[in-house]
Amino acid sequence: MYRFKVKKMGCDGCAKAVTRAVLAIEPNARVEVDLRAELVTVSGAAGPLERIAFAIVAAGYPAEPLLAAA
């Protein structure tokens, strides 16, 4: 599971754009967007963290990967 702090998301359209960006490269992933917390969680992804972060950034939303708790 990957988690990202994602800025500039303010509406459902933003959440859908981020979700589409992730699903374009990870079709089987599950994407959860929390607009208030500016948090995107991606589970079931097989690709590298950097690839998913790049997809979110390419969609126009600055994404900062968060480290998972041990």
According to the model, what pLDDT value does residue 67 have? 77
According to the model, what pLDDT value does residue 46 have? 81
What one-letter code names the amino acid at 2?
Y
C-beta neighbour count of 42 within 10 angstroms: 25
Domain boundaries, position 58 = 2-66
Residue 27 CA to residue 66 CA, distance in Å, equals 22
CATH code for position 45: 3.30.70.100
Residue 58 CA to residue 38 CA, distance in Å, equals 17
Report the predicted TM-score, pTM, of the whole model to 2 decimal places. 0.90
Q: Is 5 helix (H, G, I), strand (E, B) or coil?
A: strand
pLDDT digits (tens, 9 = 90+) for 20-70: 999 999 999 999 999 999 999 999 988 899 999 999 999 999 999 997 654
According to the model, what pLDDT value does residue 35 have? 97
Q: Is 64 helix (H, G, I), strand (E, B) or coil?
A: strand
Give how many domains the chain has, as a whole number.
Answer: 1
According to the model, what pLDDT value does residue 70 have? 45
According to the model, what pLDDT value does residue 68 have? 63
Structure tokens at 26: 């990870």
